[in-house]
């Protein structure tokens, strides 16, 4: 099964960060076979030192996993979002 990823980037965040997050999500889908889709929403608040808000919705069997994080540092935001996604995917894993 292939993971379908949709990205809505409404900020000036460079695409390399989005590509890196997509890469990590594909790796998660390979590890946990129950991922169906992922929707990434990125917003930006403020102009001087912008605050980035990342919302990640992961479709799994049962209720979807929704992860929301905010940070000024893009690297920190991506790292935290991936760790949260990994934790919730492990938690939502169907047990046989």
pLDDT digits (tens, 9 = 90+) for 26-73: 998 888 888 889 999 999 998 888 999 999 999 888 888 899 999 999
Structure tokens at 26: 């594909």
Nearest to 81 by CA among 34, 23, 32, 35: 23
Q: Which CATH architecture has domain 4-91?
A: 2-Layer Sandwich (3.30)
- What's the rounded mean pLDDT across residues 4-14? 91
pLDDT at 94 over 70: no
What is the reported pTM? 0.85
Structure tokens at 75: 């690297």
- Model pLDDT, residue 42: 94
Sign of the CA dihedral running 18, 92, 62, 94: positive
- What's the rounded mean pLDDT across residues 68-88? 92
pLDDT at 80 over 90: yes
């Amino acid at each position: 099964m292939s993971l379908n990823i949709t990205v809505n980037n409404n900020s000036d965040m460079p695409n390399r960060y989005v590509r890196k997050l997509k890469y990590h999500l594909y790796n998660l889908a390979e590890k946990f076979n129950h991922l169906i889709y992922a929707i990434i929403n990125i917003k930006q608040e403020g102009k001087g030192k912008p605050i980035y808000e990342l919302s990640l919705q992961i479709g799994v069997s049962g209720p979807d996993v929704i992860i929301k994080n905010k940070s000024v540092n893009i690297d920190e935001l991506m790292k935290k979002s991936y760790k949260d996604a990994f934790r919730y995917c492990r938690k939502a894993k169907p047990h046989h």
